[in-house]
């Protein structure tokens, strides 16, 4: 049997606490048997919620072809001096 995940523990515990408080406040019971029934119902509900939390899927290794290598292209960059300089004019032929 696999170990419970942290999400299952948190959801189940929160459900037990909240449902116990809600049922005790709504029923306004003070007898020991009533409190025991409510506690057992809350534990059952918490267990149900914890078991229905989706489990993480195991990672599978893809058997497809490897990805092509990344292609890097050089980027043309101008310096500040080249961008502000005046263009060079070629002499015209006579």
**Model confidence at 90: pLDDT above 90:** no
Q: Which has more confidence, 71 or 10?
A: 10
pTM: 0.54
Q: Is 22 left (phi over 0), alpha (psi -120 to 50) or beta?
A: alpha
pLDDT in tens, 4-43: 888 888 988 999 999 999 999 999 988 999 999 999 999 9
Q: Which residue has the higher pLDDT, 56 or 6?
A: 6
Give the position of tokens 């310096």.
Answer: 79
CB contact burial 32-60 (16+ within 10 A = b; e otherwise): eeeeeebeeebeebbeebbeeeeeeeeee
């Amino acid at each position: 049997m696999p170990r419970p995940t942290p999400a299952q523990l948190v959801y189940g515990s929160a459900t037990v606490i909240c449902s116990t408080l809600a049922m005790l406040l709504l029923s306004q019971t003070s007898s020991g048997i009533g409190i025991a029934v409510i506690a057992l119902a809350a534990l059952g509900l918490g267990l149900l919620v914890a078991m229905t939390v989706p489990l993480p899927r195991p990672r599978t290794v893809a058997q497809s072809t490897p990805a092509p290598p990344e292609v890097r292209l050089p980027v043309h960059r101008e310096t500040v001096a080249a961008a502000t300089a005046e263009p060079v004019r070629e002499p015209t032929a006579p």
